[in-house]
Amino acid sequence: MKIFCTGASGYIGGSVATHLVAAGHQVTGLVRTQDKADAVRARGIEPVLGTLDDAAVLSQAAKAADVVVNAASADHKGAVVALLDALAGSGKSFIHTSGSSIVGTPARGERCDSVFDEDTPFTPSSARAARVALNEFILSYRDKGCRPVIICPSLIYGAGHGVKPDSVQVPYLIRLARKRGNAAHAGPGENIWSDVHIDDLVPLYALAIEKAPAGSFYFAENGEHSMRQLCEAINRMMGFKGPPAAISMAEAAAEWGEGTAENTMASNSRVRARRARQLGWTPTARGVIEEIELGCYRGQDS
Among 18-22, 157-161, 296-300, the range scoring the smallest mean pLDDT is 296-300
Higher pLDDT, 72 or 164: 72
Look up the pTM and report it: 0.96
Is the model's pLDDT at 267 over the cut of 80? Answer: yes
Give me the chain's average pLDDT, please: 96
Mean pLDDT of 33-44: 96
pLDDT tens digits for range 146-155:
999 999 999 9
Beta bridge partners of 6: 70
Is the model's pLDDT at 164 over the cut of 70? Answer: no
pLDDT tens digits for range 104-117:
999 999 999 999 99
> What is d(CA 45, CA 238) in angstroms, rounded to the nearest whole number?
36
| Closest to 61 (Cα-Cα) out of 83, 35, 37, 88 | 83
Beta bridge partners of 156: 196
> What is d(CA 240, CA 76) in angstroms, rounded to the nearest whole number?
40
pLDDT tens digits for range 171-196:
999 999 999 999 999 999 999 999 99
> What is d(CA 84, CA 6) in angstroms, rounded to the nearest whole number?
13
pLDDT tens digits for range 41-54:
999 999 999 999 99
CATH 3.60.21.10 matches 2-167+194-223+270-283:
no
pLDDT tens digits for range 192-233:
999 999 999 999 999 999 999 999 999 999 999 999 999 999
pLDDT of residue 163: 66
Is the model's pLDDT at 301 over the cut of 60? Answer: no
From the CB of residue 63, how many other CB atoms can be counted at a distance below 10 Å?
Answer: 14
Percent of the chain with pLDDT strictly greater than 70: 98
> What is d(CA 99, CA 269) in angstroms, rounded to the nearest whole number?
10
Residue 302's pLDDT band (cuts 50, 70, 90): very low
